[in-house]
Amino acid sequence: MQSVYTSLTLAVFALASSVPAQDEDARARNVILFIGDGMGLAQVAAASYAAGGQENSAGLFFESFPVTGYVTTHSADSFVTDSAAAATSMASGIKTANGALGVDVSGEPAVTILEQAEERGLATGLVTSVPIGHATPAAFYAHVSERGSVDAIIDAALSDPKIEVLLGGGLAVDELSSDEVFASAEAAAYTVLRPGDGALLAEVSPGLRVFGIFDENGNRRLDYVAEHVSFESTEPRLVDLATAAVRSLSASETGFFLMVEGGAIDWASHDNEIGNTVDEVREFDAAIEAVCALLDGLGQLDETLIIVTADHETGGLTLPGPYRRTLTTGEIPSTEWSTGGHSGIPVGLWARGPHAEACAGRLDQTEIHGIMCRALGL
């Protein structure tokens, strides 16, 4: 597994490094926002160093992007944000309260970049390794004061079905059954992929409107890499969802907006599990690398603003060792976690493509929305 990641990283590294000088005013055809949920710099470093040890690590693929910055993540009512307020700030450019999705501090709906893109006739998509109604994707289409209103969130996606591609690891529902959700998706004229249909992602064709949920065993997320080995999971991986989404959306003549969430980085970090955390960061990175290669093949890579960031750090992770000896290849640094929740440590940001320069330096999370909108001319 490890050598596959490393060789892929090296193979596409040249492609990422040869970014031409960019015209500040050039419009981006597409924008893709990759959100590693809970992916602080310690999570990135652990995954990055584990690949090659400290002597040979080439870094993660997305670390080769030409523009880097860091992002403050506090919400309107808390120094430590949650995923709902954080995703709302990126989707709509506003600070809101923890728990709120797509609404401001008074509960008023805030227009999202996905809605702005749809209004202008762009295609849109949301992809996540966790439930499609989970806070991070939901902030782009739902407007509710409480992230736990999961039925209302799914209803918001399917009752006004403008989003072309919705692919989630799992489904979180309350009173609704998954069969009712799939029936609503069919009624909304989506091609529906159900748990067990993961192999069909490879057949998603350009322009296909598709709704898919892939959790086969009730853990509400795509299985961890270790689970693929331990119980021979047949669930797809984030890279399969992300590349299917790009293949569909890239057919849009007016361009597209896509958000891809590595949602289970957060879940593994809440559990203070470094092995799964590292694996999930690398799954996320593999999805980014494959999407870049796919866009390159389509001739759309240099017309696409790609931003990779996190919504917040999870676990208060530090890497206190090894100390006074080097980290060997394949070894994960030793870890200490300071919380089972989130922390207020700023997160990293990596960008490439038109308008990427605007992502350099210290940003607040709310600024990401404006950068993406300006790139698309919204």
Active-site residues, by number, are 83
State the minimum distance, in angstroms, from the CB of residue 83 to Zn ion. 6
Please give the structure tokens belonging to residue 259: 């958000």
Please give the structure tokens belonging to residue 161: 């079905």
Phi, psi at 127, each rounded to 5°: -135, 135
Neighbours of 203 (CB within 10 A): 12
Contacts of 339 (CB under 8 A, 6+ apart): 315, 316
Closer residue to Zn ion in complex, CB, 266/367: 266
State the minimum distance, in angstroms, from the CB of residue 280 to Zn ion. 13
Would you give the binding string for Zn ion spanning residues 31-60, x where CB under 5 A is met? ------------------------------
Beta strands in the chain, from DSSP E residues, in sequence order: 30-36, 67-72, 123-131, 165-170, 191-193, 210-213, 256-262, 304-310, 313-314, 317-321, 334-337, 342-343, 347-352, 361-364
Considering only residues 128 to 157 of the shown chain, the ones binding Zn ion according to CB under 5 A are: none
Indicate left, alpha or beta for 131 from its phi (over 0: left) and psi (-120 to 50: alpha): beta
Closer residue to Zn ion in complex, CB, 104/266: 266
Closer residue to Zn ion in complex, CB, 12/80: 80
**Separation of alpha carbons 308 and 33, rounded Å:** 6
Please give the structure tokens belonging to residue 74: 């506090």
Contacts of 151 (CB under 8 A, 6+ apart): 173, 174, 175, 176
Closer residue to Zn ion in complex, CB, 266/285: 266
State the minimum distance, in angstroms, from the CB of residue 47 to Zn ion. 18
State the minimum distance, in angstroms, from the CB of residue 38 to Zn ion. 5
State the minimum distance, in angstroms, from the CB of residue 85 to Zn ion. 12
280 binds Zn ion (CB under 5 A): no
Which residues share a beta bridge with 318?
336
Closer residue to Zn ion in complex, CB, 240/266: 266
**Separation of alpha carbons 130 and 312, rounded Å:** 16
State the minimum distance, in angstroms, from the CB of residue 236 to Zn ion. 23
Q: Near Zn ion by CB under 5 A, which window of 5-13, 167-175, 198-206, 265-273?
A: 265-273
Among 115, 235, 266, 285, contact with Zn ion (rule: CB under 5 A): 266
Would you give the binding string for Zn ion spanning residues 166-205, x where CB under 5 A is met? ----------------------------------------
Closest CB to Zn ion belongs to which residue? Answer: 266
DSSP 140: T
Q: Is the dihedral of CA 326, 329, 331, 333 positive or negative?
A: positive
Q: Near Zn ion by CB under 5 A, which window of 6-14, 72-80, 263-271, 359-367?
A: 263-271
# chain residues binding Zn ion, by CB under 5 A: 1
Q: Near Zn ion by CB under 5 A, which window of 163-171, 186-194, 262-270, 350-358?
A: 262-270
State the minimum distance, in angstroms, from the CB of residue 308 to Zn ion. 18
Closer residue to Zn ion in complex, CB, 256/267: 267
Closer residue to Zn ion in complex, CB, 138/359: 138
Considering only residues 325 to 364 of the shown chain, the ones binding Zn ion according to CB under 5 A are: none
Name the burial class of residue 64, with classes exposed (0-12), middle (13-18) and buried (19+) by CB atoms within 10 angstroms of its CB.
buried
Q: Near Zn ion by CB under 5 A, which window of 4-12, 47-55, 71-79, 259-267?
A: 259-267
Nearest residue to 103 via CA among 139, 71, 76: 139
* DSSP string covering 150-219: HHHHHHHHHHS---SEEEEEE---SSS-HHHHHHHHHHTT-EEE-TT-GGGGGGPPTT--EEEE--SSSS
Q: Site residues (CB under 5 A) for Zn ion?
A: 266
